[in-house]
Structure 1
Amino acid sequence: MKSWIVGNWKLNPASVSAVQALVDDLVEGVDAQSTALQNCHIMVAPSLLHLSQVEDILRTKSAAIKLVCQDVSALSAETGAYTGDVSAQQLQDLGVQWAIIGHSERRQYFNEDNDTLLNKMKHCAAQGLGVIFCIGESEADFEAGNTTQVLAEQLTIIADFLQHSEAADADYIANKLIIAYEPVWAIGTGKVPSVEEVTEVHKFIRERLQSFEATLAKTPVLYGGSVKPENAQDFAASEQINGVLVGGAALKADSFLDIAKAFSK
């Protein structure tokens, strides 16, 4: 299985020129290191404002980098009177291939609950968009030993999707679902769980998914939270960790590609 290396740019960079420079550096780096990166899927998630710009560059310069959106509408899969939203249909038409849903920042700042996230997943499925579904526990839950209970509750969305879906949707989720485990306390804080801790959590996630549907045993499970070139090799050594969701280190092409090279090995 190839590793998945996803760069979530969040609300960065600040200018069109900075986006251009970052994408140019990424394209140049991927081209120059294609052999070293051959065992990785490289993906980037720009801000919504810059999606079209990045798509245009990648379409003309690099088919090797996949395009991801940081969010998708829960209100409609197509069109409607939902000011400020963007639909799965609009993203698919633009050339976006995947969407991130359930990120802890969306859960925290926008109060996204399970019903909202389930709608988003259904809309992505209706338009053939892949889903990178984020889960993770707070520091308080981690310290209280409640990690698996929190993750089990968050993963019920997958079970609900399968329960109310047709066979075609079950096939979709077996091929277009990625789970990203991001302990909330490790995102942008510099605090990093041990590889052993992440490996055990990933085993739990995989077993939970398999209990919903046997084919989900092959679902990629990524780690996210203060991932850097300095620790990427350690995470890449675990067979349970199929890649990473990278934040700050994705804003520089060199550091992002160094992480990818660690997983490609």
Structure 2
Amino acid sequence: MQAWVIGNWKQNPATNHDVNTLVDALLKATSKNNAAASEAAITPACQLMVAPSCIHLANVSDRLQGSSLLCAAQDISAHSHSTGAYTGDCSAQQVVDAGASWTLLGHSERRQYHQESNDTLVQKLDNALAQGLGVVLCVGETQVQYDDKQTLEVLGEQLSVIKALLAQSSNQEPEFAQMLAPHLIVAYEPVWAIGTGKVPTVAEVSATHDYIKQTVASFAAPLTNVSVLYGGSVNADNADDFAASPMIDGALVGGAALKADSFLAIAAAFTRAKA
């Protein structure tokens, strides 16, 4: 199975200059004309993708045209997949027009700071698919939930948005699940590990990913081979350990994605393991 390494830039970098500097470094390192190009850039074993902030999406997407990197939005509007009177929102149609082919949805920071509910996420999923966007659905438990051994219960509840999407009257045809399969990735990011330096063991993550895969597969047979990525303080030093697990299909990378060297080192680890 192809690995995915996705850089979530969050509200970074601050300026167009810094964005272009990062893009320049990524393009130089992954260019097929570069004799020292990263191994991650020249093999189909690992697909690279970056998710810049909305204000930089069009520029980054335009600059990545013709490269091996894809571009994703960090979020889309729940209210409309096209246009409307929703000040501050960007629709699925608008981010596609800006060059995104995927979008992150359900990130813990969106759940925490914007109180996103399952109903909201079902609508966002539906809007993304209406415009042909792939979805990276983020799930994960808090420190309290982890300490109380509620991880699987929490993840099951968060993953239920996929089941709800499939249950909608317009989506009940078998062809819909078949269409959804290549457009869905799940990213497991324990909230307590994001940017904290705290990292669960590979065995813990592998067991959790196994649960996620089985749960998603139970919703519809075409979803049996859904890719499940790990995120949460992934860096160049621990990437090889995570990549070695057959249950971990890639990484959703935060801080380490803001420097080309560390981002590509993580990608190289998954390339070596999955090639």
The TM-score bracket by the shorter chain reads over 0.9
RMSD: 1.0
- Report Cα offsets for 1:27-74 as digits up to 9, x if no partner: 111114254441110000001110011012112xx4310000000000
Alignment of 1:188-227 (within 5 A): 188-227=195-234
Q: Does 1:56 align with 2:66?
A: no
TM-score (ref. length: structure 1) = 0.97
SS in 1 for 2:136: strand
Q: Identity of counterpart residues, as a percentage?
A: 52
Question: Could you say which residue in structure 1 is the equivalent of 2:13?
Answer: 13
Q: Which whole-Å CA distance do the structure 2 matches of 1:117 and 1:5 have between them?
A: 23
Q: Which whole-Å CA distance do the structure 2 matches of 1:172 and 1:160 have between them?
A: 16
Alignment of 1:173-184 (within 5 A): 173-184=180-191
Report the more deviating stretch, 146-155 or 29-38: 29-38
Q: Does 1:229 align with 2:233?
A: no
Question: Could you say which residue in structure 2 is the equivalent of 1:42?
Answer: 48
* Residue ranges of structure 2 left out of the alignment (5+ in a row): none
Alignment of 1:103-182 (within 5 A): 103-164=107-168, 165-167=171-173, 168-182=175-189
Q: Which whole-Å CA distance do the structure 2 matches of 1:81 and 1:27 have between them?
A: 37
Report the more deviating stretch, 29-38 or 102-111: 29-38
Q: Which whole-Å CA distance do the structure 1 matches of 2:79 and 2:4 have between them?
A: 29
Q: Which whole-Å CA distance do the structure 1 matches of 2:176 and 2:84 have between them?
A: 24
Report the more deviating stretch, 208-217 or 248-257: 208-217
Q: Which runs of 4+ in 1 moved over 6 A?
A: none
TM-score (ref. length: structure 2) = 0.94
Q: Which whole-Å CA distance do the structure 1 matches of 2:64 and 2:126 have between them?
A: 27
Q: Which whole-Å CA distance do the structure 2 matches of 1:186 and 1:132 have between them?
A: 18
1:166 deviates by: 4.1
Question: Could you say which residue in structure 1 is the equivalent of 2:93?
Answer: 89
Q: Which whole-Å CA distance do the structure 2 matches of 1:102 and 1:249 have between them?
A: 21
> Which residue identity does 1:212 align to in structure 2?
F
Q: Which whole-Å CA distance do the structure 2 matches of 1:147 and 1:34 have between them?
A: 36
> Which residue identity does 2:185 align to in structure 1?
I
Question: Could you say which residue in structure 2 is the equivalent of 1:67?
Answer: 71
Contact 1:137/1:184 (8 A) holds in 2: yes
> Which residue identity does 2:27 align to in structure 1?
V
The correspondence for 1:247, drawn from 242, 251, 254, is 254
SS in 2 for 1:169: helix
* Residue ranges of structure 1 left out of the alignment (5+ in a row): none
1:171 deviates by: 2.1
